[in-house]
C-alpha cells in the first residue's frame, strides 16, 4: 500500500490575493501543518537512507505556484499537488520527512547552490545553461502553451498570431525565452514579454489586460481552465515548446540525486506513480521511466 499522504483538493479560483499572501511569507510549508511522516518501518529501517542538510528532513525549494504540481488551493495553507505527492512518497520511502521552502522560480538554482534546501522543484525544464549548474531527474513530460482570457477564445492560434502583442511568463523561464526569440525571427513586430514571479500573478495580469496571453505548461493550463471555465481558455492544441519537468540537484549531491531517481523509478514500476496522476485527473504526460539531464535513455 502506498504511504503517500492523501490531500483533499479544493476548487482553485482567482481569489488570488490570499495565495499571493502565502507566497510572500517566504516560510516553509508542510511545516505549516506537520511534515509528511517518515517511514520508520520500511526500507530505511528507521534510519534515513541519505544525508540531508537537516538530518531526517528533505527540504524542497519550490515556487509553490506550479499548478497542479505544487500550489496552494484557495483557503488552505499547505502546499499540495501531484509533484508534492511524488516527493512525499519518495521521502517516505527514504525514511525522511518533507519540508517545502518557498522560493521564486528564478532563484531555485541559486538557492540550491547556496544550501537553502536539498533539492529544487517547481516545474523546471532542462536546457544547456541549467545543466551546466545542476543535475536533473525528469518526472513528467510537458511543454509550454498559451492560456487566454475567455472572451478572446479563437482570437489567437499560435505564437505567430501573437506577434506584436505582450505575453506573460515566469521570471527565469530561459527555455521559453529562447522559444519566443526563435518565433520573433519571423515576426514583423516582435512578441513582447512581461515577467511575473508566480503563475497567480501572471493570471491576474492576463485578466487585467496587461498581457494578451500567459505561458503556463500544458498540465497547468488544463487544470486552470477546468477550475475557471468562465475566465480562461487554452489557445488550442498547440505547444510553444515541449520539455521534461524535473527535480534539480547540485552536481555534488549525487547520493540524493540517485536515491530520488531510484525511488521514482520504483514508483513507476509498482503503480504508485500512475495512481497519483490518476488521483489528480492527469491523463497525459506520464513517463515509464525517469529521465536524467533531459534524456529519457540516460541514467545517473
Q: To 10 degrees, the CA torsion angle through 278, 279, 281, 282?
A: -50
* HSE-up (13 A, CA, CB side) for residue 122: 29
What stretches of the chain show up as alpha helix (H) in DSSP? 16-25, 82-93, 108-113, 128-131, 174-184, 199-208, 218-227, 254-270, 272-279
pTM of the model: 0.75
Superfamily of chain region 16-140+244-292: Periplasmic binding protein-like II (3.40.190.10)
Q: Which residue intervals of the chain bear CATH 3.40.190.10?
A: 16-140+244-292, 144-241
pLDDT at 46: 65
Q: Render each residue's pLDDT in the chain as its tens digit; 300 residues.
A: 333 333 222 233 333 434 444 444 444 444 333 444 444 344 545 688 899 999 999 999 998 888 899 998 888 889 999 999 999 999 999 999 999 999 988 899 999 999 999 999 988 889 899 999 999 999 999 889 999 999 999 999 999 999 999 999 999 888 899 999 999 999 999 999 999 988 889 999 999 999 999 999 888 898 899 889 999 999 998 999 998 999 999 999 999 999 999 999 999 999 999 999 999 988 889 999 999 999 999 999
Assigned fold of 144-241: D-Maltodextrin-Binding Protein; domain 2 (3.40.190)
- Could you report the per-residue pLDDT of 75-98, keeping only the tens digit for each? 888 999 999 999 999 999 999 999
CA distance linking residue 130 with residue 106, whole number of Å: 11
pLDDT tens for residues 208-236? 999 999 999 888 898 899 889 999 999 99
Please give the pLDDT value at position 148: 98
Amino acid at each position: 500500500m502506498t504511504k503517500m499522504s492523501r490531500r483533499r483538493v479544493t476548487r482553485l479560483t482567482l481569489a488570488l490575493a490570499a495565495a499571493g499572501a502565502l507566497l510572500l511569507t517566504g516560510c516553509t510549508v508542510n511545516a505549516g501543518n506537520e511534515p509528511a511522516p517518515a517511514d520508520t518501518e520500511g526500507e530505511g529501517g528507521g534510519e534515513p537512507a541519505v544525508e540531508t542538510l537537516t538530518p531526517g528532513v528533505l527540504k524542497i525549494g519550490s515556487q509553490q505556484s506550479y499548478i497542479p504540481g505544487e500550489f496552494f488551493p484557495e483557503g488552505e495553507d499547505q502546499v499540495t499537488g501531484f509533484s508534492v505527492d511524488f516527493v512525499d512518497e519518495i521521502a517516505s520511502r527514504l525514511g525522511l520527512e518533507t519540508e517545502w521552502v518557498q522560493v521564486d522560480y528564478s532563484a531555485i538554482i541559486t538557492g540550491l547552490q547556496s544550501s537553502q534546501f536539498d533539492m529544487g522543484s517547481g516545474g523546471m525544464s532542462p536546457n544547456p545553461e541549467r545543466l551546466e549548474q545542476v543535475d536533473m531527474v525528469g518526472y513528467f513530460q510537458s511543454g509550454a502553451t498559451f492560456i487566454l482570457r475567455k472572451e478572446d477564445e479563437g482570437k489567437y492560434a499560435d505564437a505567430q498570431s501573437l506577434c506584436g502583442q505582450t505575453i506573460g511568463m515566469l521570471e527565469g523561464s530561459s527555455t521559453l525565452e529562447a522559444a519566443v526569440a526563435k518565433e520573433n525571427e519571423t515576426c514583423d513586430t516582435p512578441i513582447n514579454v512581461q515577467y511575473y514571479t508566480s503563475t497567480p500573478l501572471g493570471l491576474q495580469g492576463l485578466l487585467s489586460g496587461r498581457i494578451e496571453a500567459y505561458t503556463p505548461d500544458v498540465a497547468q493550463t488544463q487544470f486552470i481552465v477546468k477550475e475557471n471555465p468562465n475566465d480562461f481558455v487554452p489557445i488550442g492544441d498547440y505547444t510553444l515548446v515541449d520539455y521534461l519537468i524535473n527535480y534539480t540537484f547540485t552536481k555534488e549531491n549525487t547520493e540524493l540525486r540517485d536515491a530520488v531517481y531510484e525511488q521514482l523509478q520504483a514508483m513507476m514500476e509498482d503503480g504508485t506513480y500512475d495512481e497519483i496522476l490518476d488521483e489528480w485527473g492527469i491523463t497525459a504526460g506520464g513517463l515509464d521511466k525517469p529521465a536524467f539531464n533531459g534524456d529519457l535513455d540516460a541514467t545517473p
